[in-house]
Structure 1
Amino acid sequence: MLTAGPLAEGQFAELARTGPAVLGMSTLRTGLRGHRLLLLKALLIRVRRERDLVAPAVRQRFEAAWRLLERAERARPVVAREVLDYPTTGAWLAAALAAPAGAELEHRLDRLESIAVTAALRAGCPLDLSAVAPGGTLSLTGVGRCDLGAERLRIRARGRMVRIAPEGARGPRGGLLLARPGRGRLTGIGPGWAALRPLPGTAALLDDLDPYRVPPGGVGAPSRVAADRAAVDAGAWYERWRGAHRLLHRIDPVRAAEVRRSVRAVVPLGASGPGAVPMSATLRAAPGAVLASLPASPRAMAETLVHEVHHSKLAALHELVPLHRQGRASVHQVGWRTDPRPIAGVYQGVYAHLALSDLWWRAVAADGAPREWRTRAEQRFERFHLQVGGALEILLESDELTIAGREFARHMQRHHASLGRLRGPLG
């Protein structure tokens, strides 16, 4: 019987068939958490090893933030881990570990303070400390943003109330209040406070505030940067989100539940110029975040969510159970791209488009699918089913796959074959 690291044979096969595999997904989440903690420890080791290259004040703030994070974890482990698991924490870690010594690294290191403050506030810890606010802004990971126009802020937290004000401010003016109503939640009032907005019916957030939500150079080609909050039509995002989940629930309730569990944040992308086509992306360092321009319809949103969730699933699996080897320069042509792709890109594309093919296969026969989507699903299925088949042959002929990667590809191929015929014509 094949076992792939901590995954049992059945879990591994179910993931390959693009199924939710509840136990398998739980294993992936546990693996991701462990990997993130290792990266965080690696950053601490780097700071201590390169202590002579880091300004003393920056190093001291980093060490103090580390101790605060440990304090929050002791107070409420689940809440502290939610902050560490949030997608932008992973994006920050990747940027900090890759930053060259000097000003860039020091700038990245200051972020740990705001992460630790968020965890401590959510955990209900009493606080009285001074925090750095780059550009006058303090970002609270997965919660919101304080814009008070001061580079240093005083944070005082007692019981259920938190006061944040410019360092040295006197009296009630010039600051804002946050409430801690319990269960690790924070709510804010007052000028300078902007909260992340929850997407309807789920725990996911519309994140248009976090400074690490999109890499500095943007994503995609042409490059898309993060949309500013002022340019984000929250109502349109809510409408697409609600409609997408209704459609997914009608067609495949199990997959709808997987999307609800998997997506922690949706990050709106700005347009790259007039006539720009919608795009979406995920970041390997930030699983659980879907970066996207506003989809044209709920149907497009549903397809985007399924597509990007499977990119994140495969990236998480590869961290836990390597599917292919690193360092090879060979590239391959696949049907859905005009540019040749390395084997990692082929693998990602196969998995995401196999999941979409499964969705379209179900939509064709689903009573709850709108007729216009059923028609489109039939057309898309026929096109991509053929392209995925060709790309699967590339994978299985490659010498770049690991043993586990080859077995996973065989399971994908068997699932692809099971979708070989649409379940009845559209009448």
Structure 2
Amino acid sequence: MKTVPLSPAAFARLARTSPDPAGLTLLGSALHTRRLLLLKALLVRVQRHREAVEPGVLAGFERSWGLLERVERQHPAVVRGVLDYPSTGVWLAAALAEPAGPGLDRLLARFDALALTAALRCGSPLDLTVATPDGLLSLPGVGRLRVAAGRVRVGADGRTARFHPDGGRAALPAGLALMDRHRGVLAGHGPGWSAVHRLPGGTARLDDLDPYRVPADAGGPSVGTAAEHADTDHAAWSDRWRAAREVLLRTDPGRAAEVAGAVRVVVPLVGHGPRHLGATLSAAPGAVLTSLPAEGQGMAETLVHELHHSKLATLHEIVPLYGSGRDAVHRVGWRPDPRPIAGVLHGAYAHLALADLWRRAVTADGVPRAWRSGAGQQFDDIHDQVGEALLILLESDELTAEGREFAAQMRQHHASLGATPLAAG
């Protein structure tokens, strides 16, 4: 991957968990560069092993590649939005890892939906027939259409799109309308159509529809199980999101802006009793996977914590911070199981951001009294634990030179957080 220029000042701000619009722009550029490289790698793999791909799937893949290229020449920003959507990264990772055979053919067929979404969002005229696995046509970031057929023909005139079951003359009652050509905003309507829910006050989405919102093999305690659309209380999620935005605005406006700019998708997870689940996927920066927090401040903490995992994963692609292949593990205060050095760094970084948030919450005006009271104790606990983890990192020979500098910058910020006495809760 081509290295994106990263100034020492920007590197230091990232290490100190500082909200930084320039840093987010740089990470976004790095993400897009990586997506393009992975997509090109998939194309090269398909071309080199054409004989191993089912002929119909191969023809569809090549047709959709040509469509995406044509649309991208006219509307690069909209196409970039589709390619950089978090679930696109999950799909790409799965397709590149899947051995040749029926499993790869099914994954390659998904490319039709990506190209179709880009074309519809750009208002391109279309007459295209695509596969609908399990009777579903999923358009990433837009919504999902349920059809009683294995294929559907999509006809679009630049403003509206209609769907015809394969072999059927009559269009389905559901359709799509292009509401904003500049931003590529589509609105669906009719029976069988389910839209990706937009969270209030910004551009983030609550995605409980995309089949690649959680990897097929990622279930378990580390990631969790994706909640289904029919089981999701969208009003409750909107309420928590709104409350979290308010808490962040009152506590740290810069952090609130960073979350608004960097979190593109919230993926609801199935909750398990009182235990809250939160996760990110290295293949899907910008997505926060979480069960429904009980209160707005819990959502705010989850967003800050998981966003820093995403930031660090993307930064590591630009500037490797640690090596691979080492078996050493280390004890950290926030988990009972020993962690490899990558886990120590990720955990210390995400918890350092939380420590910064909690320290500000202690003296912020207008935040819930209970949260202000608990924030001081949470700060004390995690500040000590991060300090111990930083000692592990700074003494490790598993970090690169850049990783050691990153940890040193983290230590400076950690020390500064403890230099100012906290007010009583």
* Cα-to-partner distance string for 1:48-101 (whole Å, 9 max, x where unaligned): 111121111111111111111111111211111100010000110001001111
- Any conservation in 2 of the 1:364–1:423 contact (CA below 8 Å)? no
Structure 1 partner of 2:390: 392
Q: Which residue of 2 aligns with 1:193?
A: 193
Would the alpha carbon gap of residues 410 and 223 (structure 1) be closer, same or farther in structure 2, given more than 3 Å must change? Answer: closer
The one-letter code sitting in structure 2 at the alignment partner of 1:136 is G
Stretch moving more, 212-221 or 253-262:
212-221
Alignment of structure 1 residues 347-362 onto 2, 5 Å: 347-362=345-360
Whole-Å separation in 2 of the counterparts to 1:223 and 1:123 = 34
* 1:301 partnered with 2:312: no
Runs of 4+ in 1 over 6 A off after TM superposition: none
Return the alpha-carbon distance in structure 2 between the equivalents of residues 111 and 15 of structure 1.
35
Q: 1:91 to 1:59 in 2, by over 3 A?
A: same
Judge conservation of contact 1:145–1:195 (CA < 8 Å) in 2. Answer: yes
Label 1:82 to 1:5 Cα distance change in 2 as closer, same or farther (>3 A). closer
Residues 67 and 119, structure 2, Cα contact 8 Å, conserved in 1: yes
State how many pairs are aligned: 421
Is the alpha carbon distance of 1:115 and 1:147 closer, same or farther for their aligned partners in structure 2, counting shifts above 3 Å?
Answer: same
**Equivalence for 1:260:** 260
- Do residues 251 (structure 1) and 251 (structure 2) align? yes
Deviates more, 1:319-328 or 1:20-29: 20-29
State how far apart, in whole Å, the 1-side matches of 2:355 and 2:223 are.
27
Q: CA deviation at 1:423?
A: 3.6
TM-score normalised by length of structure 2: 0.97
Question: Which among 287, 290, 310 is matched to residue 289 of structure 1?
Answer: 287
Task: Tell me the alpha carbon deviations over residues 376-425 of structure 1, each in whole angstroms, 9 at most, x when there is no partner.
Answer: 10010000000000000111111111111100100000000001145443
Q: What residue is the counterpart of 1:7 in the other structure?
A: 6
How far apart, CA to CA, are the structure 2 residues paired with 1:215 and 1:397? 35
Question: Residues 142 and 195 of structure 2 are in contact (CA less than 8 Å); yes or no, is this contact kept in structure 1?
Answer: yes
1:166-245 correspondence runs (5 A): 166-172=165-171, 174-182=172-180, 183=182, 184-221=184-221, 224-245=224-245
Q: Distance in 2 between matches of 1:222 and 1:303?
A: 18
- For the 8 Å contact 2:222–2:279, the answer to whether it is kept is no
* CA distances 1:328-377 after superposition (whole Å, capped 9, x unpaired): 11111100010110111111000000000000010111122222111110
Q: Answer yes or no: is the 8 Å Cα contact 2:359–2:422 preserved in 1.
A: no
Aligned-pair identity in percent equals: 57
Aligned partners of 1:82 and 1:179: how far apart in 2? 18
- Indicate conservation of the 8 Å contact 1:75/1:125, yes or no: no
Matched residue type, 1:346: V
**2-side partners of 1:352 and 1:223: how far apart?**
17
Q: Find the aligned partners of 1:285 and 1:112 in 2 and give their Cα distance.
A: 17
> Match for residue 332 of structure 1?
330
Structure 1 CA distance, aligned partners of 2:266 and 2:219? 14
> Once the 2 structures are TM-superposed, how far is the Cα of residue 190 of structure 1 from its aligned partner?
1.3
CA–CA distance in structure 2, aligned partners of residues 394 and 332 of structure 1: 8
Is contact 2:15–2:410 with CA below 8 Å preserved after alignment? yes
Describe the SS at the equivalent of 1:200: coil
Partner residue in 2 for 1:36: 35
Q: Distance in 2 between matches of 1:8 and 1:167?
A: 54
Moved more, 127-136 or 47-56: 47-56
The superposition leaves residues 182-212 of structure 1 with CA deviations (integer Å, 9 ceiling, x where unpaired) of: 2311111111111011000010001000000
CA contact (8 A) 1:218 1:226 kept: no
RMSD of Structure 2 on Structure 1 (CA): 1.3
List alignment gaps of at least 5 residues for structure 1. Answer: none
Q: Is the 8 A contact 1:147 1:192 kept in 2?
A: yes
Query: In the TM superposition, what are the counterparts of 1:142-161 in structure 2 within 5 Å?
Result: 142-161=141-160
The one-letter code sitting in structure 2 at the alignment partner of 1:326 is S
Structure 1 Cα separation of the partners of residues 386 and 219 of structure 2:
24
- Could you list the per-position Cα deviations for residues 208-235 of structure 1 after superposition, in whole angstroms to 9, with x for gaps in the alignment? 0000001113445276211011110111
Structure 2 unaligned residues grouped into runs of 5+: none
SS in structure 2 opposite 1:258? helix
Mean CA deviation greater in 198-207 or 56-65:
56-65
> Counterpart of 2:191 in 1: which secondary structure?
coil
* Alignment-derived partner of residue 367 in structure 1: 365
CA contact (8 A) 1:243 1:298 kept: yes
Q: TM-score, normalised by structure 1?
A: 0.96
Report if the CA contact (8 A) 2:173-2:190 is conserved. Answer: yes
Amino acid aligned to 2:237: W
Deviations 1:278-319, CA, capped at 9 Å, x for gaps: 111000000000000001110100000000110000001001
- The corresponding residue for 1:73 is 72
Q: What is the Cα deviation at residue 176 of structure 1? A: 2.0
Q: CA deviation at 1:276?
A: 5.1
